[in-house]
């Protein structure tokens, strides 16, 4: 996998895992792949994965049980917040794209409505 | 800090030409270090000094606390940049040679790695492609329980499939209690496995540091930084 943005790889992996959680690929309370398996899958140094897991734990998105592994949080509020944050980021980047196309913010809801009505 | 490799004020000249100037480098256990630079930048000279195949003019090298010699050779597993196996050898012969040469050779491990690389024991070196030879040599080198692994251009000139297998084998064989030193000019393909990178140009360290820190500070990947420095 190529990590093309200028961000450190561990942060890009944090985003990948958050997306997997938000889209249900990784479910509430589910065990994450071991550091080694994840390193092999993403073809990165295991130390990098360790750092990503550490960051996710710091943000309370995952928790570690000694000798058992790392698990997705059980707390619904955190998962909702994660989803909400990701949705907001998508919307912001969408709006920035639209503005670049020359639409102003007030016009955007109407265009969205139109697209929905067209059944797209 | 647990430095397994320590280099201080290293200088190496060939006749009049300065091959390496003022190299300082410390490598901790559990780290994967990329030595990056174009051809002729001094990468292979540095490796040969670590291996004790060349001697420095000035400066000091310590590996596992000792100068390059009998002890350090026994704790380093080295993948040279050219195939060191005889062409008459079969995979089986090569395994046997490693077993006789190195006490820390783990045959079970070699078995697993050869299977992963899809290399048959009866294959002859003379019938192998460049990629297959590279895979065989890497499998042998990674099958030793060494303290330092030195891989000199492990993916140069091999096809993309072999390249992926080689990268996977390196990642799978990462060990917390040993260090890996890898030279390459194929930065884009390998940068994700490095903890630490050293940019070597014209015999000098131009820049070195923790890979993630450099990405953060420069707001680009190591490959981009490489192009900026050497491009």
Chain B environment of A42 (Cβ under 8 Å):
192
In chain A, what are the domain boundaries?
9-74, 77-117
Cα–Cα distance for residue pair A93/A79, rounded to 1 Å: 21
Q: SS3 for chain A, per residue?
A: CCCCCCCCHHHHHHHHHHHHHHCCCCCCCCECCCHHHHHHHHCCCHHHHHHHHHHHHHCCCEEEECCCEEEECCCHHHHHHHHHHHHHHHHHHHHHHHHHCCCCHHHHHHHHHHHHHCCC
Cα–Cα distance for residue pair B219/B206, rounded to 1 Å: 18
Q: What are chain B's domains?
A: 3-230 (3.40.50.300)
- Residue B88 contacts by C-beta under 8 Å, 6 or more apart in sequence? B124, B125, B126
**pLDDT at residue A1 in the model:** 65
For the stretch A76-104, pLDDT in tens is: 999 999 999 999 999 999 999 999 999 99
Q: Of B30, B32, B219, which has the smallest distance from its Cβ to A6's Cβ?
A: B219
Q: How far is A74 from chain B (nearest CA, A)?
A: 30
**pLDDT at residue B184 in the model:** 94
Chain A environment of B218 (Cβ under 8 Å):
6
Q: What is the ipTM of this complex?
A: 0.84
Mean pLDDT of the region B205-209: 97
Answer yes or no: do A45 and B215 touch at CB < 8 A.
Answer: no
Which A residues, 32 through 91, put their C-beta within 8 Å of a C-beta on chain B? 36, 39-40, 42-48, 51
For the stretch B84-128, pLDDT in tens is: 899 999 999 999 999 999 999 999 999 999 999 999 999 999 999
Q: What is the pTM of this model?
A: 0.89
Q: How far is B224 from chain A (nearest CA, A)?
A: 9
CATH 1.10.10.10, applies to A9-74: yes
Q: Find the distance separating the first CA and the last CA of chain A, reported in whole Å.
A: 32
Q: Of B31, B192, B224, which has the smallest distance from its Cβ to A44's Cβ?
A: B192
- Angle of helix A35-42 relative to helix B160-172, nearest 10 degrees, comes to 160
Task: Give the phi and the psi of residue B24 in degrees, each rounded to 5.
Answer: -120, 130
């Amino acid at each position: 996998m190529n990590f093309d943005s200028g961000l450190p790889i561990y942060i890009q992996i944090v985003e990948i895992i958050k997306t997997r959680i938000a889209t249900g690929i990784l479910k509430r309370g589910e065990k994450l792949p071991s550091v080694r398996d994840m390193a092999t899958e993403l073809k990165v140094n295991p130390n990098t994965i360790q750092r990503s897991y550490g960051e996710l734990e710091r943000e309370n998105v995952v928790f570690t049980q000694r000798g058992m592994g790392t698990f997705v949080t059980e707390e619904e509020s955190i998962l909702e917040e994660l989803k909400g944050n990701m949705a907001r980021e998508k919307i912001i980047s969408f709006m920035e794209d639209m503005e670049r196309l020359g639409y102003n913010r007030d016009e955007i809801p109407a265009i969205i409505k139109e697209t929905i009505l067209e059944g797209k | 800090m647990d430095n397994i490799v320590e280099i201080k004020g290293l200088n190496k000249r060939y006749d009049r030409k300065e091959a390496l100037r003022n190299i300082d480098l410390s490598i901790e256990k559990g780290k994967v270090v990329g030595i990056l630079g174009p051809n002729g930048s001094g990468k292979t000279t540095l490796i040969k000094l670590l291996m004790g195949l060349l001697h420095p003019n000035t400066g000091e090298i310590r590996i596992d606390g000792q100068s390059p010699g009998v002890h350090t050779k026994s704790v380093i597993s080295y993948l040279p940049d050219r195939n060191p196996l005889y062409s008459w050898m079969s995979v089986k012969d090569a395994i046997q040679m490693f077993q006789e040469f190195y006490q820390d050779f783990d045959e079970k491990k070699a078995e697993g790695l050869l299977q992963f690389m899809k290399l048959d024991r009866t294959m002859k070196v003379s019938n192998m492609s460049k990629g297959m030879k590279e895979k065989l040599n890497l499998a042998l080198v990674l099958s030793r329980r060494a303290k330092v692994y030195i891989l000199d251009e492990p993916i140069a000139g091999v096809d993309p499939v072999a390249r992926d297998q080689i990268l996977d084998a390196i990642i799978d064989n990462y060990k917390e209690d040993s260090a890996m030193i890898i030279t390459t000019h194929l930065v884009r393909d390998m940068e994700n496995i490095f903890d630490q990178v050293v940019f070597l140009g014209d015999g000098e360290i131009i820049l070195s540091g923790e890979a993630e820190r450099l990405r953060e500070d420069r707001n680009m990947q190591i490959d981009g930084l490489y192009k900026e420095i050497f491009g």
